[in-house]
């Protein structure tokens, strides 16, 4: 049994090490899960470098989501050996095996692609909930987002389309336009101070009431200045390294408000029913192929350094996935 571990914050390839783990006996109610697939998310890289807003006590094992197969259960009927399950969110998933409470393991619905399913717990609900929790959108309404080429951004394009909501997608590189449009983006614009005028023109003056921000700093301000009076900017990331801001005119005269979204808070506060309904809906969209994200490559745990290097490269073609055990 092996795990990725880091004992200091720093460049991911310097601090991440593959270590052996002892096989500890399960306690009653626990299950041992062999990890089949677990992605490298941007928040994992920021956790390794020490730049993320919430940092673990060290030493720690990175990784927050994935899928696995139950290999052993102690005194519980909740799952059985052989079951395919989602890994508990935030469990430190970059390892060959992890121990979890059997009753908290959710089954992977039949027919799901396991690599796609390994990415279902964080980014899809983030996109799904941001489209629903702040502004009531109707078919034909518009939403604007930056970082549109990120995993969340791509899911958001698809999930908005399913709702009949149109998207303005803000990117740094104009070269991404064709690809995003092929995926269903209605409008793609680059992130400049002309954004508000360009949004107005591209949407025929539609009242855009929801902005989704993963960048922070001036990029948040441009989204805010692109919204109609009373609009809401939802901030869920700070890729620029800066916190979100608004112009005084947007804040005071246009009643634009700024809200934060953090999936962990939703998981703490939402009822079990609401969470199950959300994941069931996303699994359904994933199983019919509506919701899927590009995969750049898969790596066994031994190649963690290659995987991290690739995950940090610009111009990848999708997610980097760790596959600690072959899916049999």
Main-chain dihedrals φ then ψ at residue 133, nearest 5 degrees: -90, -5
Q: Indicate if 155 belongs to the active site.
A: no
Site string for a second copy, 50-69 (x = CB under 8 A): ---xx---------------
Site string for a second copy, 100-139 (x = CB under 8 A): ----------------------------------------
**CA dist., res. 150 & res. 66, Å (int):** 18
Rounded to whole angstroms, the Cα distance separating 196 from 192 reads 9
Q: What does the DSSP assignment read for 292-307? A: ---EEEEE-GGGHHHH
For a second copy, the closer of residues 27 and 242 by Cβ is 242
Q: Determine phi and psi for 135, rounding to 5 degrees.
A: -135, 135
- Of the pair 96, 219, the CB lying nearest a second copy is at 219
207 makes contact with a second copy (CB under 8 A): no
Residue 45 near a second copy by CB under 8 A: no
- Minimum distance from CB of 246 to a second copy (Å)? 5
Mark 20-30 as b/e (b = at least 16 C-beta within 10 Å). Answer: eeeeeebeeeb
Residue of the chain from 216, 219, 311, 323 that contacts a second copy (CB under 8 A): 216
Site for a second copy in 217-236 (CB under 8 A): 221, 235-236
Is the previous residue joined to 280 through a cis bond, with omega within 30 degrees of 0? no
List the x/- string, 233-272, binding to a second copy by CB under 8 A: --xxxx---xxxxxxxxxxxxxxxxxxxxx--x-------
3-state secondary structure of 82: coil
| Closer residue to a second copy (CB): 68 or 237 | 237
Helix 304-311 to helix 42-49 angle (10° resolution) is 110
Residues that bind a second copy (CB under 8 A): 53-54, 216, 221, 235-238, 242-262, 265
- By annotation, the residues acting in catalysis are 52
């Amino acid at each position: 049994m092996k795990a990725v571990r880091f004992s200091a914050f720093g460049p991911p390839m310097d601090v991440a090490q593959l270590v052996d783990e002892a096989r500890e006996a399960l306690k009653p109610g626990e299950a041992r899960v062999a990890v089949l697939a677990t992605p490298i998310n941007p928040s994992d890289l920021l956790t390794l470098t020490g730049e993320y807003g919430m940092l673990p006590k060290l030493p720690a094992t990175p990784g927050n989501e994935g899928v696995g197969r139950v290999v052993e259960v102690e005194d519980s009927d909740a799952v059985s050996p052989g079951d395919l399950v989602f890994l508990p969110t935030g469990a430190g998933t970059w390892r060959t095996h992890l121990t979890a409470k059997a009753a908290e393991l959710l089954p992977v619905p039949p027919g799901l692609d396991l690599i796609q399913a390994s990415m279902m717990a964080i980014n899809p609900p983030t996109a799904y909930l941001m489209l629903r929790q702040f502004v009531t959108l109707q078919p034909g309404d518009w939403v604007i987002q930056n970082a549109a080429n990120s995993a969340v951004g791509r899911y958001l394009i698809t999930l908005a389309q399913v709702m009949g909501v149109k998207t303005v997608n803000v990117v740094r590189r104009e070269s991404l336009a064709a690809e995003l449009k092929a995926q269903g983006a209605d409008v793609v614009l680059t992130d400049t101070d002309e954004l508000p005028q360009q949004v107005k023109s591209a949407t025929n003056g539609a009242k855009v009431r929801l902005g989704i921000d993963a960048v922070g700093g001036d990029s948040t301000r441009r989204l805010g200045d692109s919204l109609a009076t009373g609009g809401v900017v939802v901030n869920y990331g700070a890729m620029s390294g800066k916190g979100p801001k608004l112009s005084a005119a947007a804040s005071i005269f246009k009643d634009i408000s700024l809200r934060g979204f953090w999936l962990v808070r939703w998981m703490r506060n939402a009822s079990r029913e609401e969470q199950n309904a959300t994941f069931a809906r996303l699994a359904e969209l994933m199983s019919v192929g509506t919701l899927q994200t590009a995969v750049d490559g898969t790596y066994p745990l031994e190649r963690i350094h290659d995987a991290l290097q690739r995950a940090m490269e610009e111009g990848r073609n999708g997610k980097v996935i760790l596959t600690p055990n072959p899916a049999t």
